[in-house]
Structure 1
Amino acid sequence: MAQKGLTEFLNKTLAEGEKIAPAERLFLYNGGLYPAMVCRPETLKILDTFEARSDDVVLVGYPKTGTNWVGQILTELATASGKYGEEEWKQKQQKEQELKLFPYLEFGDPDKFERMKKLPSRRIIKTHLAPQKIPKSILQKKAKILVLFRNPKDTAVSYFHFAKGMKLRPSEETWNEFFPDYISGKVPYGLYVDHIIEWNKYLDDKNIMFITYEEIKENGTLALKQIAEFFDFSVSEQEIQSIMEKTSFQAMKEKSPETHGVMGKSLFRKGIVGDWKNVFSESQNEEMDQKFEENAARTKLGMMLKYEEYCKG
């Protein structure tokens, strides 16, 4: 019932969003672009009034780095950890639907932050925001944050297909039209390498864990164990394997009409590593390589992303 409520809510939002004039699909706020379909300037204006709790489970990732996938992993880990009984978890989900809360912190109406106070702990909070735009209370309360990254080329391709499917910018019908905007940061949430540079400043923060899409793909069992340990979720080996099956790309794609409604088609496409090789031209490869090399390659976080391995050849 709760999931059905969310699906209906997302479908309604999408239908309303399609009525927005093409020129108004994106808006500029405080130097950054945001999608009008889900974000409002008045919500962003009071973002800092959000009151974090020290036990909040926070997931941060630039668009199309895998936040829907990893968000579901966190939900499954929280459920399996015994912090919630089955009935209690259903009630929690029901509460979220009753409060009409979008799955991302910056999405929705400005009254949402008051409504979020009514959610029982531990809350799972997702955002695409860069660290300098995240509500200050999250860092002040020392809530644990999982920061997710994905190689910039696959992120670009996934972002293009999502933006096209959701008609974020109707003028961009082709990859060659989208790429110059992506590489110059003229897309919602700005330039991807800027997120790498900003998050690099937080590498030594014990309340922040960094993980990559590729790491989870290559060794999901190990990644889930590390995430569970970081957030103090107590789960068995058997539960980890069960969660791996439930959150496999295929399983989530098949369930997406139920979980994300018509948005599911744009959210779950291929879910593979290396799809960029089928899309990038030689000159686009060179341009992306140069952008990464000039800005992020020498940072510790940039090196953690293994650009040479995932974005060359």
Structure 2
Amino acid sequence: MSKHRNKFIAVVDKAMTDAEKMAPEELMFSYKGILYPTTVCNPEAFKALESFEARKDDVFLAGYPKSGTNWVGQILTDLVLTSAKHNEEYDSLDDEELEEFPYLEVGDAEKYQRMTNLPSRRVIFTHLRPENLPASIFSNKAKILLLLRNPKDVATSFYHFTNKLAPLPSFKSWDDFFTAFMNGQMPWGSYIDYVSEWNKHADDENIMTITYEELKENRALGVKQISEFFELNLTNEEIQGVVDRSSFQAMKENSEKTHGAFGNVLFRKGGVSDWKSLFTEDHNREMDATFEEHLSETKLGRKLKYGVYCKV
């Protein structure tokens, strides 16, 4: 797995170095009304992404930043690599020269042409909203694992994350961050809008939705369901091996190998309800009202179990 993550470490290290030379106002750019980090994304790549050709057997993970995508992404990658051991293409899947940064929207405009050389199954992550994904993903019915997390913990985790990571803007206070978060002035845009847009695809047969919280409650069941959804045909023993390797503690201890120095920032606590350490009555009132207005009556909104995880 460490070899599989070399590209991840190289891209992040370069982004950290580049960001240290940039003024705060240079860190973000806007594309179609949504902010993205300049050091890892660019408009030319986004334009090229439109013609990306998805394969039916591609394995997609979609999740807003700080929803647990790096954790679940490692689980998904482990499942696919474990399944690949059943066929003779396994060695090519671990070919370092064929690696690309796993997030679809991160990289140069030539990335998508290089990705045509990657063997199946390609494991691809994304923070993008569905309307900004290539149309071929939906027309070719590639399967997507959609990961959601309760919005208060997303905000809390994002606050700690962005203040520790040079390529992202920092905030003087939690209040300043909360205002930006609620107004959608964040990298990859508004989380409320993100869930609202994905809700339009909530009944698509090629999409499986899982929450961070349910995976924390019963990781073994969640890993099994993910494996079955992608038809990976793993034995119970193989699934249990992935479960054992995917505990938060195990991933945190291995984070330097999988994510370099960035691992300490990514794997902070990995818990549920950390939002209680930051949210005041005013913050709760505003978030509760926004959720009630936009998501409470939607299928994905109900999936989040807001009353369980986000009420005092």
- TM above 0.5, yes or no, is yes
Q: How does 1:65-214 map to 2 (within 5 A)?
A: 65-81=67-83, 83-84=84-85, 88-94=89-95, 97-99=96-98, 101-214=100-213
Contact 1:50 1:137 in 2 (8 A): yes
Whole-angstrom distance in 2 between the partners of 1:92 and 1:18: 34
Give the counterpart letter for 1:205 in structure 2: D
CA contact (8 A) 2:92 2:119 kept: no
CA distance in 2, matches of 1:55, 1:227: 14
SS at match of 2:163: helix
The equivalent residue for 1:233 is 232
* C-alpha separation in 1, matches of 2:89 and 2:17: 32
CA distance in 2: counterparts of 1:134 and 1:223, whole angstroms: 25
Please report how far the alpha carbon of residue 20 of structure 1 lies from its aligned counterpart in structure 2 after TM superposition. 2.3
SS in structure 2 of the partner of residue 139 of structure 1: helix
Task: Please say if 1:2 is aligned against 2:3.
Answer: yes
2:69 partner amino acid = T
Q: 1:143-201 CA deviation, whole Å, 9 max, x = no partner?
A: 01110000000000111111111134545132222110001100011111111111111
Superposed CA RMSD: 1.7
* C-alpha distance in structure 2 between counterparts of 1:24 and 1:226, whole Å: 42
1:3–1:258 Cα contact (<8 Å) kept = no
* Code of the aligned partner of 2:136: S
The alignment partner of 2:145 has SS state of strand
Q: Partner of 1:109: helix, strand, or coil?
A: coil
Contact 1:145 1:208 in 2 (8 A): yes
CA distance in 1, matches of 2:20, 2:104: 22
Provide the residue aligned with 1:52 in structure 2. Answer: 54
C-alpha distance after superposition, 1:11-35 (max 9, x if no partner): 2332123222211101111111001
Q: Which runs of 5+ in 1 are unaligned?
A: none
User: Please, what TM-score do these two structures have when normalized by structure 2?
Assistant: 0.94
1:161 and 1:33 mapped to 2: Cα distance? 19
User: How far is the alpha carbon of 1:309 from its aligned partner?
Assistant: 0.3
Equivalent of residue 17 in structure 2, options 7, 15, 35: 15
Whether the 8 Å CA contact 1:162–1:267 is kept in 2: the answer is yes
Question: Secondary structure at 1:34's aligned position in 2?
Answer: strand
1:202 Cα deviation from its structure 2 partner: 1.2
The size of the alignment, in residue pairs, is 310
Q: Aligned equivalents of 2:61 and 2:44: distance in 1? A: 23
Distance in 2, Cα, partners of 1:15 & 1:100: 21
Q: Quick one: distance in 2 between partners of 1:92 and 1:228?
A: 18
Contact 1:79–1:86 under 8 Å retained in 2:
no
Q: Give the match for residue 256 of structure 2.
A: 257
Maintained 8 Å contact 1:25/1:37: yes
1:79, 1:85 within 8 Å by CA — same for their partners in 2?
no
Q: Is residue 16–residue 166 contact of structure 2 (8 Å, CA) maintained in 1?
A: no
Q: Aligned runs of 1:302-313 on 2, under 5 Å?
A: 302-313=301-312
Contact (CA 8 Å) 1:72, 1:247: kept in 2 or not? yes
Provide Cα deviations, 1:110-152, integer angstroms capped at 9, x if missing partner: 0000000000000001000001111100001110111000000
Q: Is the 8 A contact 1:57 1:125 kept in 2?
A: yes
Q: Deviation of residue 88 (structure 1)?
A: 4.6
Instruction: Indicate which of 61, 71, 74 corresponds to 2:63.
Output: 61
Contact between 2:71 and 2:246, CA under 8 Å: does it hold in 1? yes
**Residue 33 of structure 1: SS of its match in structure 2?**
strand
- The 3 A distance-change label for structure 1 pair 18 and 85 is farther
